[in-house]
Structures are given as C-alpha cells and as structure tokens.
Structure 1
Amino acid sequence: MELGIIGLGKMGFNMAERLKLAGHKVVGFDFNKDATAKLTASGSVGVNSLADLVKNLSAPRAIWMMVPSGDPVDQTIANLEPLMQKGDTFIDGGNSNYKDTQRRHAAETAKGFHYVDCGTSGGVWGLKEGYSLMIGGDSEAVDRLNPIWEALAPAKDKGWGHVGPSGAGHFVKMVHNGIEYGMMQAYAEGFSILKAKTPLDLDLTQIAHIWQYGSVVRSWLLDLTAGALDKNPTLDGLEAWVPDSGEGRWTVTEAIDLNISAPVITESLIRRLRSREENNFTDRMISIMRGAFGGHEVKKLDN
C-alpha cells in the first residue's frame, strides 16, 4: 500500500521506516530538504513539494499529516486540496484538538474527501516497539487503511483500533496524555521523597530497577525513567522547566465540562505551569501572608 507523509521529524521518519520494512511505499515531504534526502537515502521517496508528493501517489491517495496542531493543519489541508482528487484521504496523526478534527471532517467530506484522525503514541521508540494508534473517522476510510494501521502498530491485532466517529481518535489520545501527565507527576513526587530522605542514602537508580520487576507500579514509563537515571542519576545540568503541548489542558477542560472530578490530572498540569515560574509571585505572596498573620520568617533573596 502507498502512504504520503508530511513532516519528517524523528517520529515521521521512523513511521516511514516501519512502513517500508512492512513492504509499503512511502513518499515523504518536509520543508527541511536534508530530511527528504535522508528519507530517499533510506529507500523511500523524499520530495521537496506537496505537488510532487501527490504526483508520486496513486489514487485513491492517503496522506498522513504529522504537523503541529492548529493553523499548520488547516494550512496544510488548504495547500493539498487543489492537488488531490475526490476519494483521497487526509490523516491527521498529530495532537489536534478533537473539536478542530470534527470541523475539518465535516468540511472535507462535504468536498468529497475522507478525513481520519489518528491519535498516535510511541514517540522515538515507535520504530522498534510499534505505535499505539487510536483511530477516529468513517468506517469506509478507516477500513481501507487497515494495512497501514497493522504495519505501524506493535502487532497486526494489538495496539490499535477504530475507537469511534470523527474526533474520537484525538479525544482518546487527549485523555491518554492527561493520564500520562498524572503518572509522570506521581513518579516524580515519589522519587523526590526518596531523594529527600538523606539519612538513608537511597540509590534512586537501584530502586527504579527494583520496581521494574514484580511491582504493581512497573510500567514502560518506569523503564524509561530507570534508563534515564542510569545515564544521569543526579539530573545534573537539567532545568526544572516542563512544557506542555496542550492535551493536558484540553483534558482538564473536558473534565470540567463533563462534571468529572480529575484532581490528579489537573494538579499535574498546574505543576507543569509552575515549573516555568522563576521565583514565582504566588509563593512570594503566600510567604508575606504567613509573615503578616503569624510572624513567620520571610526568606529574602541574597543580593
């Protein structure tokens, strides 16, 4: 089967490699010509324009967009539409907001195109381990692409599924990432408590490896954490600044709209925001309030 991929970052390139190994033809486009040259050198087809991408694919085409959420997706679709034919399929494999996905699905199906959303998890490990694929869209379009899902997933019958109508794939991926926020926060807090108990002189790397086997908290995330601690057990040179790419915020918003209590995911998001505040004003306000009502010491910065 043939697939076009737009966006040849680490994840897009690895997806192309996994598809090639399964015998599928991949045509890839990226604004970075070095990336397209690398794809060609690996045995697939790298092109330097959207027009060439479309020309190198047989109808009905399927084009997978691995671009940032929001306007970049809309711009990519607008640039592709004049080049494509009715019956072709757009696949949004990025982390788009599911409401944007539903809007795009309605617009593209009205024009005779298919639109599929695929929440994709696996990161840089997808080439080796396979990708977790949460797919939304019309059955006709999704079913035709089964060979693609089977090749990208960990196994033909594992790690992927058509979870519902348009937007369902991105909604499930959004909640997936919200859960990921909470898991990461719990591990981080636990290891911080262990580190703070200095009289016991605990070896965090050793403990991480112990927990990998038999423990109820074992997970792939813990495996990755243990590997990271192997390389840098004291986290030297790292800044306590944690970004978020939107899915955690959207998950919290949906929880509020649905009257679902989600304190762990919400707090993990707040902690990420707080990590970016240097000498944050909130904590300084609390300090002066404690000083005002209780005469508690107010610590001042060294000049």
Structure 2
Amino acid sequence: MNIGMIGLGRMGANMAQRLLRGGHQIVGFDPQAAARKALEDKGAGSAPSLADLVAALPAPRTLWLMVPAGAPTDASLDTLLPLLGEGDTVIDGGNSFYKDTLRRAQRFGERGIAYIDCGTSGGIWGLDEGYSLMIGGDAAAVERLRPVFETLAPASDQGWSRVGPVGAGHFTKMVHNGIEYGLMQAYAEGFSILKHKTEFELDLHRIAEVWRHGSVVRSWLLDLTADALKKNPEMAGIAPYVPDSGEGRWTVDEAIELNVPTPVIAQSLIERLRSRDKESFADKLLSSMRNEFGGHPIARE
C-alpha cells in the first residue's frame, strides 16, 4: 500500500520505517531536508512540499500525519484539504484533542475525504516492539487500511482496534495518557520513599528488577524505570522539572465535565505543574503562616 507520511520526527520516521519493513511504499514529507534525506536512506521516497507529496501518491491517497497537536496540525490540514479529493483518506496519528478532531473530520467529510484519528502509543520503542493503535473513524475506511494497522501493531491481531467513530481514537488516547500520568507518579513516589530510607541502603535498581518479575506492579513502565535506575541511580544532572503534553489536562477537564472523580490523575497533573515552580510563592507563604501562628522558624534563602 502507498502511504504519505507527514512529519518525520523520531516517532514518525520510526513508523515509516516499520511500514517499509512490512512491504508498504512510503513517501515522506518534513520541512527539514535532513529528515527527508534520512528517510530516503531507509529506502523510501520523499517530497519537498505537501503538494509534491500528494502528487507523488496514486489515488485514492492515504496520508498519515505525525505532527504536533494544535496549530501545526491545522496548518498541515489547511494545506492538504484543497489538494485532496473524494476517496482519499487522512489519518491523524498525533496527540490531537478529540474535539479538534471532530471539527476537522467534518470539514474533510464534506469533501468526501475519510478522516481517521489514531491515538498512537509506543514511543521510541515502537519501531521494534510495535505500536498500540486506538482508532476512530468510519468502519469501512478503517477496514480498508487494515494492512497498515496490522503492520504497525505488535501483531496483526494484537494492540490495535477501531474503538469507535471519529474522535473516539483521540479520546481514548487522551484517557490512556491520563492513566499514564497516575502510574508514573505512583512509581516515582514509591521509589522516593525507598530512596529516603537511608539506613537500609536500598539498591533501587535491584528492587525494580525484583518487581519486574512476578510482582503485581510489574509493567513495561517499570521495565523502563529499572533501565533508568541502572543508567543513573542518583538521577544526577536531571532537573526536577516535569513537562506535560497537554493530554493530562484534557483528561481532567473531561472528567470534570462528565462529573467523574479522578483524584489520582488530577493530583499527578498538579505535581507536574508544581515541579516547574522554582520560586514557589505558596510555599513561602505557608512558611510565613506557620511562623505567625506558632512561632515556627523560617528557612532563609
């Protein structure tokens, strides 16, 4: 199958390479010439513009976007829309907000262009391990692209599914990332407790390895944690600053809108925000309050 891949960052390039391994024909576009050249070196074609990419693909065309959510995705789609025709398919494999997906799908649907949202998990490991694909869209359009999804997934019958109509894929991936926030926070807090029990001189990497086999808390995330602790047991040189991609925020917003209590996911998001406040006015004020009512000492900078 011929596929146009838009966005050749690390994940997009890896997905393109996995598709090549599966016998698909790939033409890629990225604004960076070096990224296009790297894809060519893997045996794919490339195009210097979106117009050239569309022209290089036989109709009906399939284009897969791996572009940052928000304005970059909208800009790519605005360029693509007049270039495509009835019967073509666009797949958004990025972390788009599902309400944006619904809006975009309506625009493309009015032109007879199928719009599929594919929440994609697997990160940099997906090239060899396969990707978890949460797909939303018209059932017939998804079925037509079954060979593509089977190639990208860990196995033809594992790790991918149409989860519902358009928007459902990105909605499911949003909740997936919210759960991921909570899992990561729980592991981080647990290992922090172990780290602070200094009299036991605990080997955190060894404990992680024990938990990886037979434990009820074993997971791929724990595998990665064990690897990180092996490489850098003291986390030396790493700032206590944790970014967020936005999907945790969307998950909490949606939970509030649906009246669903999600204290773990919400608190894990708050902890990420807290990690960025190097000059916490709130903590300074808390210290001052304790001094005011109880005469407790204040730590000076």
Same fold by TM-score greater than 0.5: yes
Return the offset for 1:296. 1.2
1:266 corresponds to which letter in structure 2?
A
Q: In the alignment, what sits opposite 1:110?
A: 110
Q: In the alignment, what sits opposite 1:179?
A: 179
In 1, Cα distance between the equivalents of 2:191 and 2:49? 48
In 2, Cα distance between the equivalents of 1:207 and 1:4? 45
In 1, Cα distance between the equivalents of 2:282 and 2:182? 23
List gaps (5 residues or longer) in structure 1.
none
Aligned pairs (5 A) from 1:87-98: 87-98=87-98
2:130 corresponds to which letter in structure 1?
G
Return the offset for 1:82. 2.0
Where 2:86 maps in the other structure, the secondary structure is coil
Aligned pairs (5 A) from 1:84-163: 84-163=84-163
In 2, Cα distance between the equivalents of 1:157 and 1:118? 17
Question: Do 2:85 and 2:111's aligned partners in 1 also have CA atoms closer than 8 Å?
Answer: no
Aligned pairs (5 A) from 1:255-274: 255-274=255-274
Where 1:90 maps in the other structure, the secondary structure is strand
In 2, Cα distance between the equivalents of 1:266 and 1:290? 27
Q: In the alignment, what sits opposite 1:253?
A: 253
1:27 corresponds to which letter in structure 2?
V
Q: In the alignment, what sits opposite 1:168?
A: 168
Return the offset for 1:2. 1.1
CA RMSD of aligned residues (A): 0.7
- Aligned: 1:83 with 2:83: yes
In 2, Cα distance between the equivalents of 1:180 and 1:218? 14
Q: In the alignment, what sits opposite 1:290?
A: 290
- Aligned: 1:196 with 2:187: no
In 2, Cα distance between the equivalents of 1:85 and 1:104? 15
Return the offset for 1:279. 2.7
1:262 corresponds to which letter in structure 2?
T
Question: What is the percent sequence identity of the aligned residues?
Answer: 61
In 1, Cα distance between the equivalents of 2:24 and 2:102? 29
User: For residues 189-215 of structure 1, what are the alpha-carbon distances to aligned partners after superposition, in whole Å with 9 as ceiling and x for unaligned?
Assistant: 000000000011101111111111010
In 1, Cα distance between the equivalents of 2:263 and 2:204? 27
List gaps (5 residues or longer) in structure 2.
none
In 2, Cα distance between the equivalents of 1:269 and 1:48? 39
Return the offset for 1:298. 1.2
Structure 1 segments of 4+ aligned residues over 3 angstroms from their partners = none
- TM superposition score normalised by structure 1: 0.98
In 1, Cα distance between the equivalents of 2:224 and 2:152? 21
Return the offset for 1:80. 1.0
1:286 corresponds to which letter in structure 2?
L
1:114 corresponds to which letter in structure 2?
A
